[in-house]
Chain A
Amino acid sequence: MQILINQRPIHCTSHDTLDSVLNVFAQGSGVDINDIAVAADNTVIPRSQWATYALTANASFSVFVAVAGG
């Protein structure tokens, strides 16, 4: 199946967890997995839920990092 992370299509299987997909995404983006936050449908998915969060086809996630700002 396919999901979207920051509008980018990601292929995954039903065995994948949000945790594992985010790990790959974070590595590919050059960021530490501990330095991201995730939201879906305008709701934050707490880090504690990543390992058990069920992925469904076409689900869309937004991944955020901290950046410089005033």
Chain B
Amino acid sequence: MLSIADTLFQSRLLTGSGKFASPTLMRDAIGASGSQLVTLALKRIEQGQTPDRTLSELRQLNVQLLPNTSGAKTAQDAVLAAKIGRDLLGTHWVKLEIHPDPRYLLPDPIETLKAAEELVQLGFVVLPYCSADPTLCLRLQEVGCHAVMPLGSPIGSNQGLQTRDFLRIIIEQCTVPVIVDAGIGAPSHAAEAFELGADAVLVNTAIACASDPIAMARAFRLTCDAAMLAREGRISSPALQARATSPLTSFLER
């Protein structure tokens, strides 16, 4: 079971609610994924904007909501967003994300660390989206974050685990759960994250933008379950030379 801040989750697949063609499709896909921790964003109400049904649809599922701080460009913005999320959703959990650069959406490590420290002191359970920087992840852990969420590749890019060598170090060093976030574009990428030793993955675009999001959600669910079973079974280490699987007796020779 995945344990974050003393809360247990059977599913190791976190999902995002963005980019789905409709709120009902989002609900059905997330339901099919088996995810128990689901992110959503916060937004100022715009005049003439059609009301967003994400929240009412998600409330029909038995999932824990995880508001993010997307849109925040500084630590100060992020702290305010976290407080808004707490008041709106009644949760002190927050996915901290500060990415001022709209092109690559790469997280600002300095503002993220600053915000994380303040939010932890305010009593939040902080799950920071961060670059795959082992030193930063240790610092985030030190200030009291309950997990770290290093990126595999840029958000929504479907490039998979471009940061795999650094993820490996992060997984080796961190004692809090490591949730690989961003860039996971296929179930095989999620499997790779678990084979590296990740505790969980967060998937959004790969499910939401699939031709059949419900089928893809199931595929991720099964992959995550299979990868964890494989971990229990212990994957054999690779070898350079062949290791015979059949007896090498020369039975045809007389």
A residues touching B (Cβ–Cβ < 8 Å)? 6, 8, 29-32, 35-39, 42-44, 46-47, 62-70
Please determine whether A68 and B45 come into contact, CB atoms closer than 8 angstroms. Answer: no
Query: Which residues of chain B have C-beta atoms less than 8 A from A30's C-beta?
Result: 50-51
CB distance from B76 to the nearest CB of A (A): 8
Query: Which residues of chain B have C-beta atoms less than 8 A from A32's C-beta?
Result: 56
Please determine whether B84 and A70 come into contact, CB atoms closer than 8 angstroms. Answer: no
- Name B181's closest neighbour in chain A (CB-CB): A70
The distance in angstroms between the C-alpha atoms of A29 and B51, with both chains bound, is 7
Please determine whether A69 and B41 come into contact, CB atoms closer than 8 angstroms. Answer: yes
Known: A36-B45, A37-B87. A69 touches B51 (CB 8 A): no
A-B contacts, 28 of them at CB < 8 A, read A6-B44, A6-B47, A29-B45, A29-B51, A31-B51, A32-B56, A35-B88, A37-B84, A38-B87, A39-B84, A44-B80, A64-B44, A64-B88, A65-B51, A65-B52, A66-B52, A66-B55, A66-B85, A66-B89, A67-B41, A68-B18, A68-B19, A68-B52, A69-B39, A69-B68, A70-B41, A70-B156, A70-B202
Please determine whether A69 and B80 come into contact, CB atoms closer than 8 angstroms. Answer: no
The 9 A-B residue pairs with the shortest CB-CB distance in the complex, in nearest-first order: A69-B41, A70-B16, A70-B204, A37-B88, A30-B51, A70-B18, A37-B87, A67-B52, A68-B54
Q: Which of B13-53 contact A (CB under 8 A)?
A: 16-20, 23, 26, 39-47, 49-52
B70 interface contact, C-beta 8 A? yes
Please determine whether B67 and A70 come into contact, CB atoms closer than 8 angstroms. Answer: no
The distance in angstroms between the C-alpha atoms of A67 and B87, with both chains bound, is 15
Query: Which residues of chain A have C-beta atoms less than 8 A from B16's C-beta?
Result: 69-70
Query: Which residues of chain A have C-beta atoms less than 8 A from B63's C-beta?
Result: none
Please determine whether A39 and B51 come into contact, CB atoms closer than 8 angstroms. Answer: no
Known: A42-B80, A44-B80, A47-B87. A68 touches B17 (CB 8 A): yes
CB distance from B45 to the nearest CB of A (A): 5
The distance in angstroms between the C-alpha atoms of A2 and B115, with both chains bound, is 35
The distance in angstroms between the C-alpha atoms of A35 and B89, with both chains bound, is 8
